[in-house]
Amino acid sequence: MSVKARRISGRLETVVTKVNYAFDPVDDDKIIRNRLLTRTTTTRGEPPLKKLQKKFTSFVLEVDKDEENYDECGRLAKAFLQELSTFEIPLLKSQAVVEANRREKESFNEVKDETERQITQAKTEIEDLKKQLEESKIDRLHKEECETIRKLISAQPPRSETEKVIYELNKEIAELEAESTASWRLLELRKKQFALLLHVVDELQNTMEDEQKSLVDEIRTALDDQRNVTEPMSVD
């Protein structure tokens, strides 16, 4: 094989390497690559890869002949290179698209990771804020209770006035107790005096009854005596 043929063969290998690099070795990507390689060009006809293979085979067969066919080899080589350039352009475009998609995917993954990190951080911050909110509610409730107690205390008179009022009340209580004791003693005295009075009245009543009885007895005796005296005189 001549130097020119080897150079063309090397370029063909480079194209095949680009085809393999343009798509990842995954089953779905293999299907896409197969569709890309077997698709038709803008003009209807054979798939581009098959046409390229035919032109390369024709060129190699012509080069392997012993005849001096340089013009024909040059023509076939030129036709093959043109077909190779035509086949290489969509591969380069596909390679650029794949590379752009890969970069976009990496960028998307970075954005996804950053978004997930921010979501996790936001959830953590939300939980912290919930705890702070509960603590704030408790603190506010305590402050409201303290404020209510403070208002109640403020509404009360000063300690000195309260002590003065307590002193006055204790004094009044002592006076009332003294008055109550004096009233009780006076009442006891009046009870004794009244009991004595009742006893004296009973004694006087008994005495009067006794005197009345004695007086009645004396009158009755006198009447009896007078009657006894008058009876003999009437007999005479």
Q: pLDDT band at residue 22, thresholds of 50, 70 and 90?
A: very low
Q: From CA 191, how far away is CA 197, in angstroms rounded?
A: 10
Q: From CA 14, how far away is CA 50, in angstroms rounded?
A: 17
pLDDT above 90 coverage of the chain, percent: 17
Rounded to two decimals, the pTM is 0.36
Query: Is residue 49 packed enough to be buried (19+ CB in 10 Å), middle (13-18) or exposed (0-12)?
Result: middle
Q: From CA 213, how far away is CA 187, in angstroms rounded?
A: 38
pLDDT in tens, 163-175: 888 888 998 899 8
pLDDT in tens, 45-103: 667 677 777 777 777 776 767 666 677 777 777 877 877 777 777 778 878 888 888 88
Q: From CA 156, how far away is CA 152, in angstroms rounded?
A: 7
pLDDT in tens, 143-191: 999 999 888 888 877 778 888 888 889 988 998 998 888 888 888 888 8
Q: From CA 42, how far away is CA 86, in angstroms rounded?
A: 11
Classified as helix, coil or strand, 156 is coil
Give the per-residue pLDDT at 12: 54
Q: In sequence order, what are the residues at sequence separation of 6 or more whose Cβ sits closer than 8 angstroms to the Cβ of residue 157? A: 165
Q: From CA 215, how far away is CA 209, in angstroms rounded?
A: 10
